[in-house]
Chain A
Amino acid sequence: MRVLVVEDDDKTAHYVETGLVEAGHVVDVINDGRDGVTQAMSQDYDVVILDRMLPYLDGLSIARTLRASGSGTPILFLTALGSINERVEGLDIGDDYLVKPFAFSELLARVNALGRRPALKDRADKLYVADLEMDLATRVVTRAGKRIELQQREFTLLEFLVQNKGRIVTRTMLLERVWDLHFDPKTSVVETHISRLRAKIDRPFPKQLIQTVRGTGYLINDTP
């Protein structure tokens, strides 16, 4: 994927660039807001990563300019520590946000999820992983032809995992997207819910679909 990083802090920019390049992405780094907006408009990127605070033009204004020009390129905001109000603003315009400091695996998971996010009209009514089938319209889940009863939130959790099939989703992403939680619970909430979901869709079957990625999150996959 082509990723544009607009970040004025050299260390962070280098950290992000190195990591994304290693993960196989093509990365452009711009250090200020004015050049950032020009670059974002002139080239076709899959994901734009914007720092909130930038010289000349802040991240929020860049995003507004991009959206006003009709660009639908997914935008990920990087926000400073503890800026809950900024985050809400950012989500109004952008597609995702990440609070500094962040683990690189978290950023990578989010960039991957954003870059391949299907457009709304392309969304299928049914999702498949191996022998698991999810019908989004009737909310029926079957595996190997057997119907599995899921609670509403378990369904949402599985749906999010399956939509990101083959890509890692982090614990924080799950908290945000499935439960709309924007703080870090001190107890193992996500782990517990995943383990309940596993008990229903994985345990009775020989092949385990949900994999744990240590220290990062979870992954659902076709291939073992």
Chain B
Amino acid sequence: MTLRELLRRTQVRLAATFTILFTLAAGTLFTLLLFRLTGEIEERVHSRVMRTIDALVAIDRKFGFDELTNIVVEEAESVRDADAIFLLLDKSGRIHAGNVHSVAPFEGWRTIPRRALPAVANQGSPQDRFFSRWTEVSNGHLLVGGSDREIRQSRLILLHSVGWGLLLTAAIGLASGVYLARRSQERIDNIASTLTAVSSGQLDRRIPVGGVPQDDLDVIAQKTNAMLTQLQRVIQDVNQASTNIAHELKKPMSRLRETLEIANQKAANETEFHSAIDDAIVQLDSIVATFEALLNISQLQAGARKLRFTEIDLKSVISDVIELYEPVVEDEGGTLRASLQKGPAFLRGDRELLVQLFANLIENSLRHCLSPVAIDISIVTSGTELRVTVADNGPGIPEAERDNVLRRFYRIEKESTRGGHGLGLSVVVAIAELHNASVELADNNPGLAVVLRFPSLPRRAETSLLKK
């Protein structure tokens, strides 16, 4: 990880932000402390100077000016590190004792920098300043001053402790940020590389997800994996459908070509030509029907048709379908029966499509059943569900194949000669889905039972009468 990359990491940014905030807070605290401390120490120096002055004034009063001179000489000599100044002048301004000179008398407190005091300029610290005060004594004037060295020393200690503390905090903050960033980096890299692999075509790649710990990255990884699985399924379905379409259309196209070629070579007269062309048209119509079914399924899946939904009595739909197909079934020696519950079975839907749905199911049964076919349609309302079962006595569908046959163009291998375009059940599924209905294939022992579950619409009887 380069520095630039590192700075882009969330954890590092967070750590940096908190470090800066902490530094600002500590800085404010430091400033407050400094002001407080400076004031406090200055006060102490002042009172120390005042105490010295008081003691010296007492000596002057008690033992006289000469004794004071001796004491001041001693004091001035014994000053360590030049952190105090003394100057004793007599009334004529002559120096009697002290470690400085050339300081004119003044009223009250004054702060004198060391460089203004030539006698002691080379001693102590050049930054020293002296809090000083003149006092009148019996035979002259006394100057006493205390240095501010303590203040500067305390400041330095404060600065050092706060500075090191801050440095340490920043170091810990940044280090933990980098540590966290590196730790999640690996997982983010995993996610990124998985997504790159998927977009480059390895559709089955998934993000490795750890066992128990459920942090936000795990959640993202799991959701991403779920999405990838869903997308993979969709893509596979689309691929499968395209392959199936190609196969499904190649066969009739080749047959059509054969028909035309044979006619071209062998037809002896106009009648034979005509019949070949009629034949070709029939074959083409069936190809067109396949395309139409496909387009219809796509349109159904787009869902715009839902806008036209109205309240429909499913019983009347089924009655119509039965009326339409009964003669066909009877002519084949079979039976088409319906056991419909009492009372209407209302749902919101598209009548035309529902008729097509049941027509497709009946035609499917007709195509696959050996005579005599027996088709039974029943409606049962339970709760908010309308369950419609279309059952026949045909060969049924093996359990393993049931999911497959609902897919577009799927046809069980041995059934492939039975005709139809292999989209009948797909149309059924598409129409059912548009109506929020589920489609389930079950065993009718023997035969196939297609169970459709529609969400029903509770209707009052008078409303249904009004509609009629």
Contact = CB atoms under 8 A, between A and B. Distances in A.
30 contacts: A81-B288, A81-B292, A81-B295, A82-B291, A82-B299, A83-B299, A84-B296, A84-B299, A84-B305, A85-B304, A88-B308, A99-B292, A101-B288, A180-B351, A180-B355, A181-B324, A181-B352, A181-B356, A181-B359, A182-B352, A185-B359, A185-B363, A186-B367, A187-B328, A187-B363, A189-B324, A189-B328, A192-B327, A193-B327, A196-B327
Q: What does DSSP make chain B's interface, helix, strand, loop or mixed?
A: helix
Contacts of A196: 327
Interface of B: 278, 281, 288-289, 291-292, 294-296, 299, 304-305, 308, 320, 323-325, 327-328, 331, 351-352, 355-356, 359, 363, 366-367, 419-420, 424
A82 B295 contact: yes
A15 interface: no
Contacts, number: 61
Interface in A126-180: 153, 179-180
Nearest to A88: B308
A188 B351 CA distance: 22
A204 interface: no
A182 B351 CA distance: 11
A206 interface: no
A22 interface: no
Nearest to A188: B328
A192 B328 contact: yes
B94 to A, nearest CB: 121
A183 interface: yes
A215 interface: yes
Contact of A192 (B331, B356, B367, B419): B331
Contacts of A122: none
A125 interface: no
A189 B323 CA distance: 10
Interface residues of A, number: 25
Contacts of A179: 320, 324
A101 B351 CA distance: 26
B308 A181 contact: no
A21 to B, nearest CB: 22
> Most A CB atoms within 10 A — which of B324, B367, B420?
B324
Contacts of A188: 328
Nearest to B327: A192
Q: What does DSSP make chain A's interface, helix, strand, loop or mixed?
A: loop
Contacts of B355: 180-181
Given A179-B324, A192-B328, A184 B289 contact: yes
Contact of B359 (A82, A183, A215): A183
Nearest to B307: A85
Nearest to B420: A186
A10 B249 CA distance: 28
Contacts of B359: 181, 183, 185
A85 B366 contact: no
A82 B296 contact: yes
B392 to A, nearest CB: 14
Nearest to A86: B299
Contacts of A184: 289
B405 to A, nearest CB: 17
Contacts of A101: 288
Given A181-B359, A182-B356, A186-B424, 14 more contacts: A81-B288, A81-B291, A81-B295, A82-B296, A84-B296, A179-B320, A180-B352, A182-B352, A186-B363, A187-B325, A188-B328, A189-B324, A193-B324, A215-B278
Nearest to B328: A192
A5 B10 CA distance: 68
B280 to A, nearest CB: 13
B305 A85 contact: yes
A192 B326 CA distance: 10
A189 B288 CA distance: 20
A197 to B, nearest CB: 10
A153 to B, nearest CB: 6
A140 to B, nearest CB: 21
A23 B74 CA distance: 145
Contacts of B424: 186
Contacts of B320: 179
A116 to B, nearest CB: 27
Contacts of A181: 324, 352, 355-356, 359
Nearest to A82: B295
B165 to A, nearest CB: 74
A185 B324 CA distance: 11
Nearest to B331: A192
Nearest to B302: A85
A103 B308 CA distance: 30
B422 to A, nearest CB: 12
B419 A186 contact: yes
> Most B CB atoms within 10 A — which of A88, A99, A179, A183?
A183
B327 A82 contact: no
A99 B328 CA distance: 26
